[in-house]
Structure 1
C-alpha cells in the first residue's frame, strides 16, 4: 500500500527537536509494511526532502503552501499511484488531503487532532471562530471518506455537527516510553509536573493560581513546568506575584529523552487546558505510572473518575482541591494510576497504526 500522509509539522530531520512523537510513532509503524510519503507544510521554510523513520518526508515550505502541497501529492502519484490519503489535523492539512484525494479518486481520511472544532474567542483560538473556518471545516469533514478523532469529547462534538466519526487515540510509543509500575508516594514534598508549551490554550495562569491555593493551604510541593515559553516570561512573573516562585521551576523545552525521567519521577501530572483533543502527555504519564489531575477536556474528560480526576475548565479552586485530594489519598492515586496505565497500554502506538491500517484496507478491498 502506498500512503500519502499530510501533516503540519513535527517531522524534523534530526528526529528529536521540533517533532511530535505520535507522528513519528505512526509513521514508523506504517512504514514497516507500506510505502509512506509524508507531505509536511511548514517544517522548514524552503522545500526539501529527507528520509525519516522509514518514510520519505516532502517539506513544502513557505509560499502558496496549500496549492503546492496538492501539486506535490499529484506529482508523486503520477510516478507511482497512492492508495490512501491521510490527513492528521483538518484545517489546511485536511483541505490539502481532500482536494488531492478527490482529484485522484482516492479514499481520504481526516483525523481531528487539535482545535479544529473549537471557537475560543477570548484567546483567538479555534478553527470555528470565523465563518470561513466553519465553512472550510464543513466542506472538509463532509467530503472525507472517514473522520477520526483522538478522544470521545471530540467524537461527540463531530456527531453534534452531523459528522459520523470514529475514536482513534494517538497512542504512546512504548518502545520509547517503557511502562513503569505505579508506585506509592514515600517522600515530601509532592512532586508535580506540567508538560505543555506556555500559551493561552494551556492556561497556565489557572494552574499557577491553583498552586498558590495549594501553597496557602500548607501543602508542600515542587512543580516542574516543561515547555517552550511563547508568553515572554508572563507566567514566571505571575508565579512571583503569587509568591510561589520558589516552588515552581520553569524548565523550558525538553526532548522526549529528557522528559521521560522527569515524568516518571513525579507523583502527579497536572493539566489546566482550555481545550485538548488528547493530550498525549496524559498517555505518556500513564504509561510511566503517573496519574493525571486536570481540566475536563479530551482524554481527561473521558477518563474522569476511573483513571483521572477532572475539574471544570478555568476553575483554579477545583484544580487545587483535586490535587490536594490525591496527595492526601494515596490509595486513590494508585487506583487511578493503575487504571490509566491499563488504558494507555491497551491503546498504544501499535494499536493506533493497526486501527488506521484496518480502515485503509476496508476502503480499498481490492488491495492484497
Structure 2
C-alpha cells in the first residue's frame, strides 16, 4: 500500500536560497526514494503586505514559481503574509489561511495519509490545523531553535505545546532535544529520536596539505560553519584568537552579526587572520572542511548541528560546547572536545587539538552511523506507525 505524505516545511531551499533547509530537502528526497512512498512538499513563503513586499530583498522570493520540480520532488510554494520582525504568533493563522485551499484541493485529488511537519514553529501548529481540516494524523520534528526559542516565548509557547499534544507522534533531532521537550511538559513517550544524515560519499577525507594549498592557506586553520548570529558564538572564537597567534579563522556563513564580528576583530588586532567566506554552497563545503585542522562551533544552543557531523565525516575534529546532542555525537576522544563557553576554554581546546591531531579515519568513524539511509528508515517507520495506529 502506498504511503502518501504531505511534508510541510518553512525550511526548504529554493533557487534564491540554495542552502536554506538543505537537510530537510535531503531528508524529503530520501523518504521519496523509497518504494510505495509519495511525498508532496509544501514550502510556504512569507512575504510582507504590499508595498513592503516590493522591497528589493523580497524580489527573489516574489519570483519563485508556485509549483516546481525540485530534485525529483514536487514542491508547492504558496505565499502568506507576514509582519517583518513582529509576526510570530500571527504567522500560524495567516499561513493556514493561505495554504488550506491548496491542501484541500490536493487532498481531494489524491488523499494524504499523514502530515510531516519539518519544524516545530510555525509548521507544527499549522500542521495541527491542517490535520483537523483533512481528518488525518500529523507528526512534528524538533530541531533546535524551534523548541529553545519558540517553545519558550510567551507569545508562542502555548502554540508549540498544543501542537505537541495534538500530534500522533513527534521527532527530535537528538536525545538531548527529547529531554528538553519533556522538561517543557511534552509527553516523552510520543517522541522518537531521529538523527540527521550525512552524505558520506561527498563529505569524505581529503589530503589536508593539498586542500590548504588549493585555497591558499598555510599554518593551522580553524573553521566555523554556521549562520553569523549571536547564538552561534563566533564572537568567542574571535576573542580566542589572541591566544592562538599562529592560527587562521574561517567563518562560513552569513548574517547581520558580521559587522559586529568585523569590529571586534579590529579592536583585538586580529582582523588579518579572519576570513569571512559568506554563505558557502553546500556542495563546496567538503573542500573547506578538508583544509581545516579543527571545526569549532561554540553555540549557546543546538539540537544536533549538521556541521558537526559533516566535519567529522571529513576527518576534521570538532571543538564544541556542551549543548544539544554534543555528548551523543562525541562518543570517542578522537572526534573532538567539549569545552566551556569562554574564549579561554575554547582557545585551550583548539590548541590541544592542534598539538595532538587525531587520525583522520578515527575522526570519520564517529560519523559513520549518521547515514541518510538510517534517517530514511527511521522516518518511514515512524510515519507508517502513525498511519497504522490511526486506521
**TM value normalised by structure 1:** 0.87
Q: Offset at 1:11? A: 2.3
- Whether the 8 Å contact between 1:49 and 1:57 is mirrored in structure 2 is yes
Q: Deviations over 1:282-303 (max 9, x none)?
A: 1111111111101111232433
For 1:25 and 1:143, the matched residues in 2 are separated by 27
CA distance, structure 2, for counterparts of residue 286 and residue 265 of structure 1: 13
Residue 131 of structure 1 aligns to a residue in which SS?
A: coil
Partner residue, 2:309: 283
Residue 350 of structure 1 corresponds to 373
2:120 aligned to which of 90, 99, 102:
90
Matched, 1:170 2:196: yes
1:123 corresponds to which residue? none
Equivalents in 2 of 1:184, 1:18: separation in Å? 27
SS of the residue corresponding to residue 189 of structure 1 reads: coil
Per the alignment, residue 24 of structure 1 pairs with: 25
Is residue 212–residue 242 contact of structure 1 (8 Å, CA) maintained in 2?
Answer: yes
Mapped to 1, the partners of 2:79 and 2:195 lie a distance apart of 29
1:42 lines up with 2:45 in the alignment? yes
Q: Compared with structure 1, are the counterparts of its residues 21 and 340 closer, same or farther at alpha carbon in structure 2 (3 Å cutoff)?
A: farther
Query: Aligned partners of 2:95, 2:137: CA distance in 1, in Å?
Result: 22
Inter-CA distance 17–288: structure 2 relative to 1 (3 Å threshold): same
Which residue in 2 is equivalent to 1:269?
295
Q: Residues 151-162 of structure 1: matches in 2 within 5 Å? A: 151-162=174-185
Q: How far did residue 47 of structure 1 move?
A: 6.7
1:310 corresponds to: 338
Contact 1:69–1:96, Cα closer than 8 Å, also in 2: no
Are the equivalent residues in 1 in contact too, given 2:11–2:24 (CA < 8 A)? no
Shift in Å, 1:304: 4.3
Aligned counterpart, 2:244:
214
- Taking structure 1 as reference, are residues 295 and 359 closer, same or farther at Cα in structure 2, changes over 3 Å only? same
Aligned-partner Cα distance in 1 for 2:99–2:367: 34
Q: In structure 1, list runs of 5 or more residues that go unmatched.
A: 119-125
Indicate conservation of the 8 Å contact 1:31/1:53, yes or no: no
CA RMSD in angstroms, aligned pairs only: 2.6
Aligned length: 349
CA distance in 2, matches of 1:326, 1:80: 55
Within 5 Å, give how 1:90-239 maps onto structure 2.
90-118=120-148, 126-162=149-185, 163-164=187-188, 165-175=191-201, 177-180=202-205, 189-215=219-245, 220-231=246-257, 233-239=259-265
5+ residue gaps, structure 2: 47-60, 82-93, 213-217
Query: In structure 2, the residue corresponding to 1:346 is in which secondary structure?
Result: coil
Q: Deviations over 1:14-59 (max 9, x none)?
A: 7x72433212211212222322111112273477111112221111
